[in-house]
Amino acid sequence: MERGGAIRESRLGSTASPGQLTPLLSGKTFVSPFYVDADPDPATAPAHPTSEDSVTQRTPGGLERTKQPATFFIFSDLSISKAGVYRLQFRLMNWGHVEDTGQQMPILAEAWSNPFHVYPAKDFPGMKDSSPLAEGLKELGFVELKTRGEGKGKGRKR
């Protein structure tokens, strides 16, 4: 279904097998919920989403987790012109409700990113190695996501 330059697909009326997810496309944004085996890298991941509550049992090898749905917002090229500390706001909205009724888009959930620092070019400390989460998303097919392998980060030594 094409509307206003965005393409929206759903499971309704599709030939997808039960449990199979179909993508939502809007410009260069790709949204596809999927299950993850483990939480993102705790050193670099924000507090949300998490499967922390899904610990099922303690095994000799560590904690065994059930697969939990997770949503990731990927910005392969985010540009902010003014230095400072910022947070991103994410809103989950029901597009179908707007299309069906013409009413205002209801906000189903809202989350904020952890604060991040934007540096002026002369003070930029350099890129860090890619996180395990970024590497995993690249392996899943997020081709616009540029990653740097381990030890390939460039940074000024301070």
Q: How confident is the model over 134-147, as pLDDT tens digits?
A: 787 777 777 677 77
Q: How far apart are CA 76 and CA 29, in angstroms?
A: 10
Provide the 8-state DSSP code for 126: B
Query: What is the model's pTM?
Result: 0.45
Does residue 100 surpass a pLDDT of 70? no
CA 32 to chain centre: 10
Q: How far apart are CA 136 and CA 44, in angstroms?
A: 14
Q: What is the pLDDT of residue 139?
A: 79
Q: How confident is the model over 38-90, as pLDDT tens digits?
A: 655 656 655 544 344 444 444 444 445 556 666 677 776 778 888 999 888 88
Q: What is the pLDDT of residue 26?
A: 44
Q: Which of 2-6, 17-21, 108-112, 154-158 has the lowest mean pLDDT?
A: 2-6
Element (H, E) at 69: strand 68-70
